Amino acid sequence: MQKQILVIEDDKDIANLIALHLRDLSFAVELSHTGTAGLNLAQKNAFDVIVLDLMLPEMDGIEICRRLRATDNLTPILMLTAKASELDRVLGLELGADDYLTKPFSIKELLARIKALVRRTAINQSLQGEDSEILQLADMQIDIDKRLVMINQQSIDLTAREFELLLHFARHPGRVYSRTQLLDQVWGYGHDGYEHTVNSHINRLRKKIEADPTNAKYIQTVWGVGYKFSEPGNA
């Protein structure tokens, strides 16, 4: 089945360029040039990925992301931003964006990110309807099919990417991963210079699952190497 991509970008030249390359890869593409029209399309139709510009007329990308996630719309979102500040990027990720690119970006890299998100969506959809697998790790319970995390019987609200990152760690307790390995295995791509994306996600994930994020119980830093999930009996 042809994959559906929604591009919400007010710069028509950029939007058309993205659409041209996506259609060359046999994706079906819909374009929107305002925030309100883009949100309306995202809410009414099913897409495999949404490419979302941060600065839009009528409604910005942050608000679109907020509204979609508030209605449990988990369509992967790749946010585009012309702003260079880390705050803007992290804010978008905090509200549920799965990835971001800063303008100007290479089309090759954009396509790699989109294909990685499409693959991740396909994997998640293939798991739906199967018998639910539940991981029990000390006082943490992860219901993989329902994508739910409980700690001490309390539900933890995670974004799609945070859940995938936590699940990857939990499935391999004690194994140390570098930031580059996590980008490749969880995000689906590896690019030098984007290790801070991993750092941002782990910092936010720790705030949600750790009683004391500065003294992590679950996701531990291995200095000079990367991160690992605490082995059973040590959490």
Neighbour order of strands in the sheet with 176-177: 176-177, 226-229, 219-222
Query: Which pLDDT tens digit goes with each residue over 1-24?
Result: 789 999 999 999 999 999 999 999
Query: Which pLDDT tens digit goes with each residue over 123-156?
Result: 665 555 554 578 888 889 998 877 889 998 888 9
In whole angstroms, give the CA distance from residue 205 to residue 224: 20
In whole angstroms, give the CA distance from residue 108 to residue 87: 25
